Amino acid sequence: MSVGYCCLGSVPHAAPLLARLFSRAIRNACISDCVSSIPTMDKYEAYENYSDFDDESVWDGGHFRYAKPKQATANRKKPAAVRAALTDFNDDVADWVPTYARPLDPKHHERQWLIDSIGPFFRDNVILDVTRRVKGGKEANVYVCVAHPSAGVELIAAKLYRPRMLRTLKNDAVYKAGRQLRGEDGKLLKGRREKLALAQKTTFGKQLDMTWWIGNEFATQLTLFEAGAAVPRPIRHNGNTILMDYVGDEQMAAPTLIDTSPEPGEAAALFGIIMDNVALMLEHHLVHGDLSPYNILYWDGKPVIIDFPQMVNARTNPHAFELLQRDISRVCAYFARFGVRADPARIARDLWLPYMGEIKS
Ligand SMILES: Nc1ncnc2c1ncn2[C@@H]1O[C@H](COP(=O)(O)OP(=O)(O)O)[C@@H](O)[C@H]1O
Ligand SMILES: [Mg+2]
């Protein structure tokens, strides 16, 4: 659509083998709350501890310095114990150190976090190396990876979320409203155990939570990509990480629109493509929820929309129309600087009505 503005058990000796396989399966499943070798701390908690050291202000030219504890830390694990625990989870890739991480001090938290998060993709022959960090933030880092020849592309972007991303999103009732719980496979979570764990915020519950958000983002991005939207093709997800097509080249990642100044003639066409994508999302009952020139890349003269964890379902989220209006207003405000005149309220209404019917106030 073009928008109106312009455009086994009985076998002897089998038991130990089964026990080993079973414990490995638990580890790999990444949703276990009982890892035998680490009775008091699992992977999620380890990352939470890591995230206490994530403040970039205490990084010292790539060398790790301890931050002053923010609160009484009698029960807090020492970073060495945290790292030891994390390493234990990834015995398959324990020796793998990607190029980007090599200059980092072995004690640097980012190094182990990276190895632990991206290692499974290396083990599964999806990526060969991590060469560069595109962007580091409080909630996620994006890295450039060299793809395995079987991947069909040369470079892959890896987005690694920190546990605090969940805290931020979950505190935002606007985004959470009307969401359904989904597991890593995108299927609805119906189990009593899962719901209880989430409600009680157990370790298992927190892992489920991350799985839910990441799985949701991946599934949404895939739906949009398959529908022909201008979004990077999602490739794989695991734990806290999503792999997707990298936009850019070996020298540089695509800039965001905010760092770009389109020519006046080009601006209207870009605006049209972005609004057509907003319409396409709505056709799939989706509203981006954080659309702005900061979340649109510009490459080869075309826009690419990114960053979907806060995407909402237009049918079930009572704030969807407001979010749609805000998304459109932000894009209009940016393009107004380049001579594109548009009425965001009218565009939002014209888009909403055909797909969603009446606008509830
Ligand atoms: N697929 C991609 N290809 C190239 N760069 C990307 C890609 N995805 C994200 N980036 C870069 O990483 C930055 C952060 O990504 P984004 O998904 O917006 O995360 P957040 O805003 O939550 O930190 C973007 O502004 C962009 O520079
Ligand atoms: Mg962003």
User: What is the distance between the alpha carbons of residues 149 and 128, in angstroms, rounded to a whole number?
Assistant: 9
Instruction: Tell me which residue has tokens 């020492």.
Output: 78
Q: Quick check: is 46 in a domain?
A: yes
> What is the share, in percent, of the chain residues with pLDDT greater than 70?
61
Question: Which of 66, 90, 113 delimits the end of a domain?
Answer: 66
Same domain, 288 and 331: yes
The Å distance, Cα 100 to ligand 2 centre, comes to 22
Q: Element (H or E) spanning 296, and its range?
A: strand 296-299
Q: Could you tell me which residues are beta bridge partners of residue 129?
A: 146
Same domain, 33 and 138: no
Q: Which of the two residues, 252 and 22, has the higher pLDDT score?
A: 252
Q: Quick check: is 80 in a domain?
A: no
| Tens digits of residue pLDDT in 59-86 | 333 333 334 444 444 455 555 665 555 5
Same domain, 272 and 231: no
User: What is the distance between the alpha carbons of residues 278 and 290, in angstroms, rounded to a whole number?
Assistant: 12
Looking at the structure of the chain, the number of domains it has is 3
Q: Structure tokens of 31?
A: 């949703």
Alpha carbon separation from 350 to 118, 253, 268, 333, 343 (Å, rounded): 43, 35, 18, 18, 11
What mean pLDDT comes out for the span 279-290? 96
Task: Check pLDDT > 60 for residue 341.
Answer: yes
At residue 204, the pLDDT reads 63
CATH number for the domain that contains residue 183: 3.30.200.20
Residue 143 CA: which ligand is closest? 1
At residue 201, the pLDDT reads 64
At residue 134, the pLDDT reads 96
The Å distance, Cα 242 to ligand 1 centre, comes to 11
End-to-end CA distance of the chain: 26
Same domain, 237 and 261: no
Q: Quick check: is 92 in a domain?
A: no
List all residues whose CB is within 6 A of at least one atom of ligand 1. 134-135, 137, 139-140, 142, 157, 159, 232, 244-248, 253-254, 256, 295, 306-307
Residue closest by Cα to atom 23 of ligand 1: 140
Indicate the residue type of 262.
Answer: P
Contacts of 73 (CB under 8 A, 6+ apart): none
Same domain, 233 and 276: no
Q: Quick check: is 62 in a domain?
A: yes
Same domain, 203 and 157: yes
| Tens digits of residue pLDDT in 296-324 | 999 999 999 999 988 999 999 999 999 99
The Å distance, Cα 142 to ligand 1 centre, comes to 6
Same domain, 232 and 127: yes
CA atoms within 13 A on the CB side of 222: 14
Residue closest by Cα to atom 13 of ligand 1: 135
User: What is the distance between the alpha carbons of residues 60 and 44, in angstroms, rounded to a whole number?
Assistant: 26
State phi, psi for 93 to the nearest 5 degrees: -120, 25
At residue 181, the pLDDT reads 57
In order, the DSSP letters of 12-81 are TTHHHHHHHHHHHHHHHHT--S--TT-TT--HHHHHHHHHTT--GGGEETTEE-PPPPSS--TTPPPHHH
Q: Quick check: is 77 in a domain?
A: no
For the ranges 92-96, 163-167, 282-286, which has the lowest average pLDDT? 163-167
Same domain, 232 and 266: no
Contact (CB, 8 A) for 243 and 126: yes
Same domain, 205 and 287: no
What mean pLDDT comes out for the span 216-227? 93
Same domain, 130 and 218: yes
At residue 309, the pLDDT reads 87
Same domain, 337 and 235: no
What mean pLDDT comes out for the span 328-345? 97
Sign of the four-CA dihedral 114, 116, 117, 122: positive
Residue 234 CA: which ligand is closest? 1
Instruction: Tell me which residue has tokens 């324990």.
Output: 94
Same domain, 229 and 261: no
CA-based nearest residue to 7, from 302, 276, 334, 346: 276
Range of the domain at 323: 257-356
| Tens digits of residue pLDDT in 179-212 | 655 555 555 655 666 666 666 666 666 666 667 7
Question: Which of 207, 224, 245 delimits the end of a domain?
Answer: 245
Point out the ligand 1 atom lying closest to the alpha carbon of residue 248.
Answer: 4
CA-based nearest residue to 225, from 183, 277, 269, 161: 277
At residue 34, the pLDDT reads 29
Question: Which of 22, 51, 66 delimits the end of a domain?
Answer: 66
Burial of 95 (0-12, 13-18, 19+ CB in 10 A): exposed
